[in-house]
Structure formats: C-alpha cells, structure tokens
Structure 1
Amino acid sequence: MIYQQTGMMIRQTSYSESSRIITILTESGEQVPLMARGFNKPKNQFITLRQGYLEALFTYNRFKGMGTLNDVDVTERYKNINGNFDVYTHASYILEVISRALEDDIAEPGFYRLLKKAFKLLDEGNSSFAVTSLVLVKMLPAYGGQLNLDSCAVCGRNDYKKYSHYSFKYHNVICYDCLTDETLERTIPVSNRVLYFALYLQSVKLDDVNSIKLSEDTGRQLLKFIEVMYEEYSGVFFRSRKLVDPQ
C-alpha cells in the first residue's frame, strides 16, 4: 500500500554500501522505518535528506514492518538551524530528548507538535537555551519526573520572588524565609528568575508560544537547572548535551 505522510527523519543507519534504513516521525506521532535504496550514492532522489534537518512529505510503500521510501518532497528546510552549528547542536539535543521517549507502536502526536514547534522557534532566532529548556520541561513527565514550583514546600506561599532554593528532600521550592539547617538539606540554590521561567515553560500551552527571548546567561542557568532535574529524577543522560555545553 502506498502512503504519503508529513514527518521528519529522526534516525538513520547504514544497511549496505548504497542503502540506508531511516526512521521518520510522522505528524500523527508514529515511527515508520523505511528502506531508502541508493541513499548513499552521490546522485539519488533522497539526497535532500543528507542536507540537515527538514520536514517533508514522505511517499512510501508499506504493508507490515519496514516500508520502502519512494519520494521526498521537502516542506520546511530550517535554513537557520542547518546553517548555524550552535543552533544545530540544540536541535540535535531536542531531537534526542524527544526520540528517546518514543515507544514502538505507540503514537505520540504531541511529541511531533513539540518537535515542530521547537524547530520553528530555533529557526526564527529565538534563544536556543530557552527553546531547549522548553522541550526538556515538557518532556520531563515522559521520563518519570515532575516539576513542583508553584509554592514553597514549607510555608505554602506562592511568591516566586522569594524562592531561592530547590529541595530534593521536599521535591519542591523553598523561599528564603523558610531556610534553616534542616530545610537546606539536599537543596541547590536557584535564582527566582530561573524558577519563574521554568514554571512558565511548564504551564504555558504550546500553541501560545510564539517566541522565547532570554539572555544567554539566564538561558544557560535555566537549562542547567532542568538538566539537574533530569539527573535526579530520571537518571537519563543525553549524548547531545555535551555538544550544547561541553563544560
């Protein structure tokens, strides 16, 4: 049966000297493995897939299992992402975070919408660290974690201007009025600005995000905080993270 579906290539692996097996994530959230014959040849109809990240209309034959790719019609080339190494590394990080959470035979259309939104924001020149943070915050529940940032774990107040620490003992934020030797156990200092933006990214609807503008310093701090949450609550480490911040 012949299919036509919009999607993005999320992984590829060599199959033979001339061919590759690619996996696309469709806009319906399905992973589709496809044999791309002649992919490795200098001149072939799939050469556009070797030119960086893109969204395309994929035409393929498939009955069960792996399909055979017939044609690729590009719909979005993401020129800024593919033309800027720093932005490209953030796109790679984002793709890894989303693709590793996918499960076989379970459609995740929300993951595709998040991927497309993130790539659009990156391509339009928004803060790379902030966009990557958006994806990590939205994907944290898929890795078994959850951010609790809306009120102090001790006094219950929700004045973010007073937040100063995140507690792994209480799994919540603590305001500076409630800091004691006991409440400081297993905490990390976090600026209230970073906590505010993390809460915003968690609660905002994806369709309402048209731009994210943060200074590079604040963006780096925000991403670092969320990565610490992943380390604590999921234990997952993403290889692409080293490209974004090799320190």
Structure 2
Amino acid sequence: MKALLLALLVLGGTAQATQLEIHLNGGQRNWSSGELLSHPQARDIEIDEDVSYKRPMRYRAVPISVLLDGVSAGDHLQAVALDGFAAELPAATLLAREGAKAWLAIEDPQNPWPPLAKGKPSAGPFYLVWTDPAASQIGPEQWPFQVARIRQLAAVEQRFPALLPAADASAEVQAGFAAYQKNCMACHRLNGAGDAEFGPDLNIPHNPTEYFTGEFLHQYIRDPQSLRRWPQGRMPGFSEQTLSAMELEQLIGYLQHMAQRKITR
C-alpha cells in the first residue's frame, strides 16, 4: 500500500494518504484527516518561516502532544514520510510546554495546500510544523512533511549500534554523532544502519570524507547545488543558523571517525 501511494505521488497524482498511523507502546491509533480537523484542540496557526514552503503559511493544526498519550519526555519517536524520510524526534522536544511548540498540520481535502514546487505534491496530508522553532534550535530535518505514521521506538543508540563511535572517541566526535542524528539520519543510513529510505549510505561503500577533498565537503553540506547542480537534487543546504561552524566540524569529525569503522554485511 505504501509503495502504491508513493508511486502516485511520484507520478504527480493527487491521491494521498488520509490516515495517520500512530504506533505507541500502548497500542496503535489511526486518525483520519476529518477526525483531526474536527479535534477539540484543533486551531488555526501561523508559521512565519515555513521550512518547506519558504514563506509564511497558515494551517489548521493540533498540538502533537495531544496525540501522544502515555509518552514521556524520556521516550523517542520517529515520523516516517511517504517517500521514506524518517525523522528521529526526542519526545521531550515534542512534549515541551516552553520554547518551540510542535504541531501536526492537517491538509483539508476541500481546501488543499499548494504544491511544494512545480510538478510536486503538497506537504500534506500531514505535516509536522513548529512555532518559535529557534527557541529550541529546531532544524529543518525536524519538519517532516507528507507524514504517514509516527511511532515510538527505542533510542537510536539501542536500535543501531553500527552508528556508534568507538567507546574512547573524543567529545567532539560524540557531539558529531548527535549532529548526525539531528541533521542527516532522516535521509541517510550509515553502515547500513537506520530507517531512512531516501538518500545514499554515508559509509558504504565510501564515506564522503574519502572522496571530498579540502573544503569541498564543507561547501557541499552548506550548498549542495553549488557542487552538483541537477534538477532532481533534494538535499537541502545547511546554513550556519541551522548547523553552526563548530557543529559542522564536529559532524565531519564523526564521519571521518566512522570511515575507519566500516561494517559490511
């Protein structure tokens, strides 16, 4: 079913999932677009700088926290999109009452959102958006659109030990691992580990630190199209506001470290 929905989206069809699956430890609940639009806590919200549309947007949305019954701040969640994008999301961020606030925006079939680009579908039917994202340093990979399901999972470290740095790795490499989880893992696997079905593996067969020389890897992460310009390119650039110079160095340090820890299957 997922493959069929994705095929329709790729072909430019208008059919989209109208059911959101939420898998929590306490069980599964499916929400229809209609149920969510009429939810008692649904309201109209304004997003000043929408990450996907690159302009202000207005949505009918519910606080994501009201859909996460039984989830606590120490838990871990993942939002999976129709195209295989899989955003790792600490529950503490989604449940926070101060700082950035997470909302599930619901596309009204009677009043559809605009396409993300020419020939592309919209961000619907479900889109995780944030008000005041800068207050909690919410990155662009934490704005998954075309969300099909949200599920409660064990932490990344438990699910994917192949991603872990060596036990004696420096604090900078450990910080780079955290930057990888926040900014890269939604699209990429590494050592075959991860749930994303979107971008290439970042260690197998070769790590980008092995073929990008000098400052080219820095440039590629900041502005991918400046090095590889092609219409289907989907990797976003990571500005200093999203990924500071220090965080970028830590991320590259983690990748360099993992280039020496290849795991093939």
Provide TM-score, normalisation by structure 2: 0.28
TM-score (norm 1): 0.29
Question: Whose helix proportion is higher, 1 or 2?
Answer: 1
Larger Rg: 1
